Amino acid sequence: MDIAANLASIRSRIEAACLRASRDPSEVSLLAVSKGQPAEAVADAAASGQIWFGESKVQEARAKIPQCPASARWHMIGHLQTNKARDAVHLFEMIESVDSLRLAEDLQKAADKAAKTVRILLEVNAAGESTKFGYSPALLLEEFMRINAFPRLEIHGLMTIAPWSPSPERARPVFRRLRELRSQCEDLLGAPLPTLSMGMSGDFETAIEEGSTLVRVGTSLFGSRSPLRRDPAAEPG
Ligand SMILES: *Cc1c(COP(=O)(O)O)cnc(C)c1O
C-alpha cells in the first residue's frame, strides 16, 4: 500500500468534487479511518501531512493511539456504549456517533469529571435502515435542544452513514436529507452548525457535492482492513 500516493489521489478527488460543486476545498476535511489498521499505517499517513484519524472502537483506539505520532488527532466514529463514555472523553477530540440522550448524559458526566468540553456530532440513521445505529430524523429533532442543554457538550453538526451500494448516486438523497436536517436543527438552535460528516470511500465525492464538510475515508486510503487485526479473538488458534 502506497499510503502517500493514495492520500494525494484522495485529496485531488476532494478538490475536483469541490470544484464541480463550486465549493472552496478548504471547507472539506479528510478524516483518515484507521480502524483495523496498525499504528504504522497511521504514522505513514501522518508523515504525508494527514492530521485527523477516525476509530470505531474504544478498545482498539486505547491500544493504538499511544503508539501513533503525537501529531495525529482523533475522532470516534463507531457506536459508543455508555460504559465507555469516560475513555472516549479522554481519547477523542470529537465524538461523531452520539445517538441517544442516555449516551449524551453519560458523556456530560464524564466530561464534567474531566473538566473538559466535548465536541460532538449527532449520528442520524437518515435512510431508516434497521441494521444501523443513529437517530431517526423525528427523534433527532425532538431531542436536539435537550442535548444542546448539556453544558459540557458542544454540538458541531450531524453525521450519517449512507446505505452501501455500488452506485454512489444511490446515496445522494440520503446526503441531501442530512443537509436538510441540519438546517432544521439550525432553526431550532438559532445558530449555524458547521459540520456535516458524510461520505466514505465509495461515495465521498457525491457527499461533497451535497455539502459534506468532513469525509471519512478508510479503505481507499489504507487498503482493506485485515480481519485478523480487527478481531484477533475470532481467528482459530
Ligand atoms: C469504517 C467506517 C468508515 C470508512 O469506510 P471506508 O468504506 O473504508 O472508507 C467511515 N465511517 C464510519 C462510521 C465507519 O465505520
| pLDDT of residue 236 exceeding 60 | no
Question: Which residue's CA is the closest to the ligand 1 atom numbered 12?
Answer: 77
Ligand 1 midpoint to CA 190 (Å)? 31
Percent of the residues in the chain that have a pLDDT greater than 70, as a whole number:
95
Give the model's pLDDT for residue 215.
98
How high does pLDDT run on average in the chain?
A: 94
Q: Check pLDDT > 90 for residue 232.
A: no
Closest CA to 213 of 17, 58, 64: 17
The binding-site residues of ligand 1, defined as CB within 6 angstroms of any ligand atom, are 33, 35, 56, 77-78, 161, 200-202, 216-220
DSSP assignment string, 132-188: --SB-HHHHHHHHHHHHT-TTEEEEEEE--PPP-S-GGGGHHHHHHHHHHHHHHHHH
Task: Grade residue 203 by pLDDT with cuts at 50, 70 and 90.
Answer: very high
The set of cell numbers assigned to 152 is 459540557
pLDDT tens string 74-92? 999 999 999 999 999 999 9
pLDDT higher than 80, residue 235? no
pLDDT band at 231 (very low <50, low <70, confident <90, very high): very low
**What average pLDDT does range 104-118 have in this prediction?**
97
Give CA–CA dist 94/214, Å, rounded: 12
Average pLDDT in the 187-201 region? 98
From 1, 6, 56, give the residue whose CB has the most ligand 1 atoms within 8 Å, as the site to mutate: 56
Domains of the chain: 3-221 (3.20.20.10)
- Alpha carbon of 34 to ligand 1 centroid (Å): 9
Rounded average pLDDT over 48-68: 98
- Specify the ligand 1 atom closest to the Cα of 56: 15
Neighbours of 40 (CB within 10 A): 11
* pLDDT over 90 (residue 66): yes
pLDDT tens across 168-183, in order?
Answer: 999 999 999 999 999 9
Angle at 75 between CA 147 and CA 119, to 5 degrees: 30
Give residues with Cβ within 8 angstroms of 103, minimum separation 6.
80, 82, 85
Rounded-to-integer distance, Cα 233 and Cα 235, Å: 6
**Parallel/antiparallel/unpaired status of strands 29-33 and 73-76:** unpaired
Q: Which atom of ligand 1 is nearest to the CA of 33?
A: 4
Residue bearing the CA closest to ligand 1, atom 13: 77
Give distance in angstroms: CA of 49 to centre of ligand 1: 20
pLDDT (tens digit per residue) in 112-140: 999 999 999 999 999 999 888 999 999 99
Pocket test for ligand 1, best of 77, 80, 214 (most atoms within 8 A of CB): 77
Predicted confidence band at 233 (pLDDT cuts at 50, 70, 90)?
A: very low
Within 10 A of 157 (CB to CB), how many other CB atoms are there? 23
Task: Please tell me the pTM assigned to this model.
Answer: 0.94
Sorted by sequence, the CB contacts under 8 Å of residue 191 that are 6+ apart come out as none
| Predicted local distance difference test score (pLDDT) of residue 1 | 79
In this prediction, residue 52 carries a pLDDT of 98
Q: Tell me the C-alpha distance between 200 and 32, whole Å.
A: 10
Instruction: Tell me the C-alpha distance between 124 and 128, whole Å.
Output: 9
C-beta of residue 33 within 8 angstroms of C-beta of residue 217 = yes
Residue 209 has pLDDT above 70, yes or no: yes
Residue 216 CA to ligand 1 center (angstroms) comes to 6
The predicted structure's pLDDT at residue 230: 45
